[in-house]
Structure 1
Amino acid sequence: MSRLRGRLVLLVPVLSAALAVTGCSGGGGEGAEPAAAKPTFDGAQELRQAATAMAGLKSLGLTLSTEGEPAVPVRGGDLKLLRGGDADGTVTLEQSGQTVEMKIVATGETFYVKGATGGWQRYPKAIAAAMYDPSAVLDPQRGISALLQKATGVKAEATESVGGKESHRVRATLPRDAIGGLVPGLTTDVSGQIWVAKADHRLLKVRGEIPAAAQGGGKGSVVITFTEFDAPYKIKAPE
């Protein structure tokens, strides 16, 4: 059981990253930006519309990367999530100074994990859900949509392109009591930036600053890019 807990704890920052950094970041956009005109959109309205748009999704694809040395073991990832809780993808972790890639599949009542060596390990999904439940991500009452509605300090920043799509960039803060149950170990409010598509109000990207850990961990940012919405994913148990 201790070995299982160790593996699942490493997955928590990955699967919860979409929740933790929705509305969080410390820096501005990528690189230096020229002075921009005062935004003409309403930041609070953008987040309300995004909450509605994300609440209706049946599936979501996302990629994850890090900047600097954030105090989380995840360094990258590519995940596909279904609203019912099934998930499939890969994550890159840093363990004892080494980079390790791990594959994960959650389907039905079973959770599968495959490390850099060895085959797939199979566990009851209920055990994984006790630490983190992937079905929470797209749940309108527990996931991204609910968190967007609880954002504070909302401020419109700029209009810019993300992946070829025009978006509105909004700065906001999520209070720790709004995300504490979804992101284990979070002890501070999380502030940052959210990019919302102008055309359909879906989230395109978030960048969140992860504060230094109390035990002396590093500091940096986690970047989530949402790549697919309502794609017809067919997630199956590994062979």
Structure 2
Amino acid sequence: MVKRGWVGAVLAVVGLLVAGCTSDEPSGGGGSLPDGAALVRDAATVTKGIRSAHFALKVNGSVSAIPVQNAEGDLTREGGPSGAAKGTVKLTLLGQLIEGEFVLVDDSLYIKGPTGGFQKYPASLSSNIYDPSAILDPDKGIANVLAKIQNPRTDAKESVDGVSAYKVSGKVTKDVASALVPGVNSDVDISVWLREDNKQPVKASVKLPGGEGQTATVDLTLSDVDKPVTITAP
């Protein structure tokens, strides 16, 4: 359960980008802000062409389907039919804090826990929980989420880690969200931050039902988009 749970959760949640940032304009925006529908349409088109990215993920609150606390790693559409991924993760499982590393390449999954070296498993071990190719898949991944945001509205222009971006908010149906985040059983609120210059997604914020009736958020940043990523078996 440890091996299947943390790898699947890490790779799954990446597909729905998440965030917080520093505002340069009032959150209500103004007449000079571009149309939200046009922004997400352009962003979806641009995102279909992304070949690699670095991600940093943080879950705020408790989500039963997502035991991860934080994770960081690289994704690429190269390295096998399902692409490749590598990273580190910290999660709570059965009341215990667990840290580990994973490498997914050439249809094989390598897992390294708190002790010992990497162990090799078939990639299907991860895809039973989530298909990692969905993250950058142009048809069901991030690009699809952007294209399917309902009633998108531009809230503001903000600075995200020094990058000028437009914040666009809306809703995503459970069918679209569940393709990337296992356990989603209702529509979710989402905000995305799109670069002003090329409309690539920089950050986003997804609200999910949390434990004890509380709302949880998943925060993630994308960086180093399309920079060369080489992932090899350990």
Task: Tell me whether the two structures share a fold, i.e. TM-score over 0.5.
Answer: yes
Aligned 8 A contact 1:160 1:168 in 2: yes
Q: 1:65 aligns with which of 58, 61, 65?
A: 58
Are residues 1:232 and 2:225 paired? Answer: no
Q: 1:101 to 1:194 in 2, by over 3 A?
A: same
Deviates more, 1:144-153 or 1:61-70: 61-70
Q: How high is the TM-score relative to the length of structure 2? A: 0.88
Identity of aligned residues (%): 33
Q: Which residue of 2 aligns with 1:10?
A: 6
Residue deviations 1:51-105 (CA, integer Å, cap 9, x gap)? 1111101111110112234442111111101114210110111123332211000
Aligned with 1:16: secondary structure? helix
Counterpart of 2:219? 223
Q: Distance in 2 between matches of 1:191 and 1:179?
A: 10
Matches within 5 A, 1:82-231: 82-84=76-78, 85-213=83-211, 216=212, 219-231=215-227
Q: Is the 8 A contact 1:70 1:222 kept in 2?
A: no
- The structure 2 residue matched to 1:38, chosen from 27, 30, 39, is 30
Q: Give the Cα separation in 2 of the matches to 1:99 and 1:30.
A: 31
Structure 1 pair 35/191, CA: closer, same or farther in 2 (3 Å)? closer
**Per-residue Cα deviation, 1:113-135 (whole angstroms, up to 9, x for no partner):** 11112221210113322321111
Query: Aligned residue pairs: how many?
Result: 227
SS of 1:119 mapped into structure 2: coil
SS at 1:229 equivalent: coil
Aligned Cα root-mean-square deviation (Å):
2.3
TM-score (norm 1): 0.86
The Cα offsets for residues 150-194 of structure 1, whole Å up to 9 and x where unpaired, read as: 111211100010111110000011101223233222101111210
2: CA distance between counterparts of 1:131 and 1:190?
A: 20
Unaligned runs of 5+ in 1: none
Does the 8 Å contact 2:8/2:126 carry over to 1? no
Give, in whole Å, the separation in 2 of the partners of 1:133 and 1:35. Answer: 36
Choose which of 33, 40, 65 in structure 2 pairs with 1:47: 40
Deviation at 1:211, TM superposition (A): 0.7
Q: List alignment gaps of at least 5 residues for structure 2.
A: none
Q: Assess if the C-alpha contact under 8 Å between 2:27 and 2:156 holds in 1.
A: no
Contact 2:29 2:157 in 1 (8 A): no
